[in-house]
Chain A
């Protein structure tokens, strides 16, 4: 038995019929065609599937799709336009915080959630906020640097405009 799911995904009103047992990750990837969020563990332990639901980071592998009815979902595909990367994406590029890329979408989403909520975060706060995102390639050093750099840039920008 399928039920209607109406969500706003990356700013686009989207309607799909889904079975109640299906995860948000599965529906995003298979029904909506957004393969940026990844399945790394299917158990809420690695963060590769991180997306934002109403701005809050969730492991979409362990979130039922129907729970998001009427809500706003942001995936890695909705963070920026290719011609105008988000500060976090730009900072990861400049600091060299990407290797195999599999964890990267989840890292970007967790970092975005952190910076949206706390743009003046320090290193400890970055490490804590990203504690649910595993990366096997980078040893985390350059990612931490990148998120702090993005925070600085966002603050500078806020300072200029505000």
Chain B
């Protein structure tokens, strides 16, 4: 206990004494309707594709049709009007642009520099070979098709998967590395061999996590405009990280950073995919600087499915050593990533296997653990971030194995979890992989979820139906979700990335509030949730708050929105800056009301003397005086403050339970119901939280039941339209109930925890366990996803 208390004290000391300083008033905790919605609902929202500039050129990519080949020649001279009405750029033309390389600070990770257009060889179907431009997109498409038909390749043997990649005679994606295996490392925590030696039973499972992808409704897109007179580059990109992208573009193109402006206009979903800098975000701006004309590239869906980053694929071998009464003694896990053609910036091919390995313990008391992580290159689209990086795979493999162990030991799966789960009074807890779980409700979440589905009654009904030849199943998936990626969270995840974010809160002379943040909304509703925090901080209505985000020219520097960080970090920066501005307002109002600032309150846009509401000035009056009345203004008259936050790591938690029925004749799984218990600390807007849980769960459902990016043995992608790549539709989704528990983080400002990913982390295991539970009479073991009808029939032994 003393050790855990030390952890708490250390964290609080480290991160400052105003960690709890957040002012709650009328708005925080309310399901406020989203202020941004009217423009989405009326078609007024403008995404990159909706923007037009004079003299704009449309860019279309020529992409490799081969998984692995040398580029022999590209004869641009076939293009009619080349250099006049049609323009084309190849990798050779962009030779001066440095390649993109990951930023992970690990010495033994091999690097795979990626030119922004391929030079010399291509490494996956969809790798960029050339960019063709014309004033009209149809003309550019036609020209790209023509150029594509004359590119000469020398085909190389394809490396379609990890098994082929590791073969002794495998073709090498990067000959200079001498291997396709770019990383291998094993770490032992505790006494693993002893634990396995002492075990009554050992259960193991091989698990192939499928390759699927974020596939946001808005594909990627970039518009770049270079003003040669001012040497000013403006880039509109569908990105989650405008400031970071500005830094990267400036570095790659050798421009002063203050001459680069990045704007993320409306962004139609990102889910992590739009975090990393993609080669297109460098190539398109470069071409704009060369041609001196605006250049727009809008990815089409086919291109997106083959050339945008994929995610999640890895092989996991897990073993758990247990006693006969279900106590976990130790775990061994091997996590091997299938990284695709390049170990992608920003987080490398380790983004899946290394994060999975570190997160494996989850909400359980696991003290002896050996993690081994490997990563291979293959001729497929690179793997990068997607909601629940690594954690989805880890959670799925672990929860499947625990059900397997429970079945093997004859212990109820809920009871098996209870026996090994961390109790609330054991937190803060330092996991064996170095993650500091700040607080939570692991057991309570499990119990609440089971209570909601009436677990005992379900088991009884399941037994009855089995007698009738009907197979219903219930799957449990408990999770912790690492959130609020600042310096500490990313370090605890295993891929350190120092970071902080900032917010500027300003009250103008009319008393209205403008909040400028470095986090960048792409569907999360920041314009509402962060306005709620500012409104409570300043005692105003949320309608009096305007939130600026997504434009590097009017927001302070910071990393942006990913890894469930914006509520915690964005929220804290706004709360802190609003608190400072509140002090400035009270100083002025104190002079106007002839009262001590400490005796004043601000409520409903009025500053009054506490206990004497008739003695007041409106915020508008005070703000006006603060700017124009030299008698009362402050020594720094502006009512404005900029504050930063780099939070301590913190962990949300919850439990997802899924109920299904399997049709024994067809293998079709009908999902009946999903219940999710979510504990993300203090809730800012419960409507937004619920919506995030729904969305994340359905993405997890997609990965578990439908979505699979399939490559042939020759390395050709076979899922290149939405006819082949199945994302969930209105008809695929059962009712989802969300139950909230609020265990505030003792570490963060306001006790807020992030929560964007839990649903996708947990849902696949809940669904897979539900199917495995339904098929328990057949001895079914789920060893891969997605769970398609033919796989179900295989699990039942009905087809070979």
* B175-183, B403-411, B724-732 - the one binding chain A: B724-732
Is A102 in contact with B730, judged by CB distance below 8 angstroms? no
Name the contact of B722 in the complex, choosing from A102, A134, A138 (C-beta under 8 A): A134
Is A141 in contact with B730, judged by CB distance below 8 angstroms? no
Report the Cα distance A129→B522, complex, angstroms.
Answer: 27
Name the contact of B217 in the complex, choosing from A40, A94, A131 (C-beta under 8 A): A40
Residues of A within 8 Å of B216, CB to CB, are: 100, 102, 136
Kindly report which residue of chain B lies nearest to residue A36, judged by CB atoms.
B43
- Which residues of chain B from 679 to 701 have any CB-CB distance to chain A below 8 Å in the complex? 687-688, 690-691, 694-699
Is B730 in contact with A77, judged by CB distance below 8 angstroms? no
B266 at the interface (CB under 8 A from A): yes
Residues of B within 8 Å of A108, CB to CB, are: 41
Report the Cα distance A41→B725, complex, angstroms.
Answer: 12
Majority secondary structure, B binding face: loop
Name the contact of B43 in the complex, choosing from A75, A93, A135, A143 (C-beta under 8 A): A75
Asked if A100 meets B42 with Cβ closer than 8 Å, knowing A39-B49, A43-B721, A139-B698, the reply is no
Name the residue in A80, A94, A99, A134 with the highest tally of chain B Cβ atoms < 10 Å from its Cβ: A99
B425 at the interface (CB under 8 A from A): no
Kindly report which residue of chain B lies nearest to residue A141, judged by CB atoms.
B694
- Which residues of chain A from 33 to 92 have any CB-CB distance to chain B below 8 Å in the complex? 34-43, 45-46, 48, 75-77, 79-80, 82, 85, 89, 92
Is B730 in contact with A21, judged by CB distance below 8 angstroms? no
Kindly report which residue of chain B lies nearest to residue A142, judged by CB atoms.
B691
Report the Cα distance A35→B694, complex, angstroms.
Answer: 28
Is A105 in contact with B694, judged by CB distance below 8 angstroms? no
Report the Cα distance A138→B219, complex, angstroms.
Answer: 17
Kindly report which residue of chain A lies nearest to residue B735, judged by CB atoms.
A141
B33 at the interface (CB under 8 A from A): yes
Report the Cα distance A46→B305, complex, angstroms.
Answer: 14
Is A38 in contact with B218, judged by CB distance below 8 angstroms? yes
A107: min CB distance to chain B, Å: 10
Residue tally, chain A, CB below 8 Å to B: 54
Majority secondary structure, A binding face: loop
Name the residue in A39, A131, A139 with the highest tally of chain B Cβ atoms < 10 Å from its Cβ: A139
Kindly report which residue of chain B lies nearest to residue A97, judged by CB atoms.
B691
Report the Cα distance A135→B694, complex, angstroms.
Answer: 12
Residues of A within 8 Å of B688, CB to CB, are: 96
A160: min CB distance to chain B, Å: 24
Is A139 in contact with B50, judged by CB distance below 8 angstroms? no
Residues of B within 8 Å of A131, CB to CB, are: 729-731
B690: min CB distance to chain A, Å: 7
Name the contact of A89 in the complex, choosing from B41, B271, B300 (C-beta under 8 A): B41
Is B733 in contact with A136, judged by CB distance below 8 angstroms? no
Is B34 in contact with A93, judged by CB distance below 8 angstroms? yes
Name the contact of A93 in the complex, choosing from B38, B218, B522 (C-beta under 8 A): B38
Is B37 in contact with A98, judged by CB distance below 8 angstroms? yes
Kindly report which residue of chain B lies nearest to residue A80, judged by CB atoms.
B42
Proximity string of chain B (247-276) to chain A, C-beta cutoff 8 Å, 1 when within and 0 when not: 000000000000000000011110100000
B303: min CB distance to chain A, Å: 10
Report the Cα distance A80→B42, complex, angstroms.
Answer: 8
Name the contact of B731 in the complex, choosing from A43, A75, A102, A128 (C-beta under 8 A): A128
Kindly report which residue of chain B lies nearest to residue A92, judged by CB atoms.
B41
Is B731 in contact with A127, judged by CB distance below 8 angstroms? yes
Residues of A within 8 Å of B525, CB to CB, are: 99
Residues of A within 8 Å of B690, CB to CB, are: 96, 142
B45 at the interface (CB under 8 A from A): yes
Point out residues on A near B: beta carbons under 8 Å.
21-22, 29, 34-43, 45-46, 48, 75-77, 79-80, 82, 85, 89, 92-94, 96, 98-105, 108, 126-128, 130-131, 133-144
Given pairs A39-B298, A96-B31, 18 additional interface contacts (CB within 8 A): A29-B50, A41-B722, A42-B300, A45-B723, A48-B217, A77-B43, A93-B41, A100-B40, A101-B45, A101-B266, A101-B268, A101-B523, A105-B43, A131-B731, A138-B695, A139-B728, A140-B694, A141-B735
Q: 17 A-B contacts, Cβ less than 8 Å apart? A: A21-B138, A40-B217, A43-B302, A43-B721, A77-B43, A82-B42, A89-B41, A93-B33, A100-B40, A101-B268, A102-B217, A136-B214, A136-B216, A137-B217, A139-B691, A139-B695, A141-B733
